[in-house]
Amino acid sequence: MASVDIIIPLYNKQATIEQAVRSVQSQTVTDWRLIVVDDGSTDGSTDIVRRLQGQDPRIELIQQPNAGPGAARNAGIRAALAEYVAFLDADDLWYPEHLKTALQAITQYDAAVVGTMYCQWPRQISSQTQWLERGIQPGIYTLHGNENPEWVEAFIVLFHVNTTMIKTGIARRYGFYEAGCKYGEDLIFFARVIFNTTFMLVGGQPTAQYNRQHSELTGHYAFALPPMLVDPEILLADCPPEKNNLARRVLARLALRTAYHKARNGYKEDALKLIQLHPLMRDFAPAWRQCQWAVRLSGILPYWVRFKCWLEPKVRSIIR
C-alpha cells in the first residue's frame, strides 16, 4: 500500500493534464498512488491519462458522468486506501519536494490536515506573503471558539486544495460538497475541517504552482453564490456548539467579502441577498462600509474593473 493516495479531478484538461501527472512523477517521495477521476471529459484528456497509465502502474483512472469537482474528489476519496490523501488539480503542478514536505509535517505533528505554500502563476506571487499579511504564521492550530473571525477566515480562504494533505478518514467524514456545486466546494470542505480538527500550516518555499490563467473559475464571481453562504447550516450542522457563534461570524465575514466582489463586478442582486442573509457582516465596520459603496456604485464599477484588468498587464510589461 502506498504512503499517500493523490487525487486529480479531471474535466477537459487535455492541454495541462500530462504536466500535472509528470509533476507527481517527479516527486522525491515515490511511494504514492495517483487516482485520476475523469468527470465526464469530452476532449482527449482521458486518452492522455491512459497512455501515462500504460507507462506507470501507480496511476489509476476512474471514470464517471459529469458531476462537478466535489463529486470527482469524493470518488477519489472513496477509492483511497492509504492513510493520507493529497489533492492536485489537472491544470496545476507540484514541485519535487511537495509530498516530502507535507508527509513529514503530517506524520511528525499528527495534524488532521496540513497545507504548504504555493506560487500563483504567472504573476509569481508566493502565498506566504498573503498569509503574513493576514497575520498568520506557520504552525499547528486548534480552534476553541474565541478566535478573531477574520483570522479564521484567512485559513479557509488561503488554504489551497492543491497544497493540502489530509488523513483519509477525516476526508471521508467531511467530504467535498456536491449537489451540483461548481464553485465553493473546497471552501466548505476546509471550513468543516478547520472547525472540527487540528490543522497545520507549513512555512518555507512554495511546493506547488497554482496556474490562474488555466482555471475556468478565474472569473468565478459570475457563478452562483457559494452554497455555504446561502445555507449556513451546511457548516453549522457539523460545528461544535461552543464554536457556533464563531462560525456564524466567520460566515458573515466570508459573505461580506463575496458581496463586495459581487457588487464590484455588477452582480448587485447577489450582493444584496448576502447582506440580507448575514446581518452580522455589519460588525466588520471598514469592510462593511466598503461593501456599501460597491453596492451603490455597482452600475459603473464593472467598467472600472474591466479597464484595470486591461491596463494592468500593459503596465507590468512597461515596468519590466
* Whole-angstrom distance, CA of residue 64 vs CA of residue 53: 18
Q: How confident is the model at residue 213 (pLDDT cuts 50, 70, 90)?
A: low
Mean per-residue pLDDT, 223-232: 91
Tell me the mean pLDDT in the region 105-131.
87
H or E element, residue 176: none
- Residue 48 — φ and ψ, nearest 5°? -65, -45
Confidence (pLDDT) at 146? 97
Distance (Å) of CA 137 to CA 130, 195, 212, 283: 11, 18, 25, 25
- pLDDT attached to residue 217: 43
d(CA 138, CA 131): 9
pLDDT for 312? 61
pLDDT of residue 314: 57
Can you give the pTM of this predicted structure?
0.89
pLDDT at 214 over 70: no
Flag the least confident range among 75-89, 138-152, 298-312.
298-312
Task: State how far the Cα of 252 lies from the Cα of 130, in Å rounded to an integer.
Answer: 21
The number of residues in the chain equals 320
Contacts 24+ apart (CB under 8 A), 122-126: 122/211, 122/212, 122/213, 123/212, 126/206
Q: Which residues, 6+ apart, have CB-to-CB distance to 110 below 8 Å?
A: 198
Q: What is the mean pLDDT of the segment spanning 252-268?
A: 94
pLDDT at 106 over 50: yes
For the chain, the domains span 4-218, 221-319
Whole-Å CA distances, 210 to 32, 117, 191, 217: 21, 10, 21, 13
47-61: per-residue pLDDT in tens?
A: 999 999 999 999 999
Dihedral pair phi/psi, residue 159, rounded to 5°: -60, 130
- 121 or 42: whose pLDDT is higher? 42
Task: Tell me the mean pLDDT in the region 87-114.
Answer: 96
pLDDT over 90 percentage in the chain: 75
pLDDT confidence of residue 132: 86
pLDDT of residue 222: 72
User: Among 16, 179, 189, which Cα is nearest to 89's?
Assistant: 16
Q: Is the pLDDT of residue 185 over 90?
A: no
* pLDDT of 182 strictly over 70: no
pLDDT the model gives residue 218: 43
On the question of pLDDT at 316 being above 80, the answer is no
The mean predicted confidence, pLDDT, of the chain is 90
117-126, 171-180, 197-206, 235-244: which range is least confident on average? 117-126
Q: Which of 13-17, 20-24, 174-178, 210-214 has the lowest mean pLDDT?
A: 210-214
| pLDDT beyond 60 at 28 | yes
Q: Quick one: pLDDT at residue 308? A: 62
- The larger pLDDT score, comparing residue 90 to residue 214, is at 90
At residue 35, the 3 state secondary structure works out as strand
200 near 102, Cβ under 8 Å?
A: no
Please report the pLDDT score of residue 202 as a whole number: 95
Domain 4-218 fold is Spore Coat Polysaccharide Biosynthesis Protein SpsA; Chain A (3.90.550)
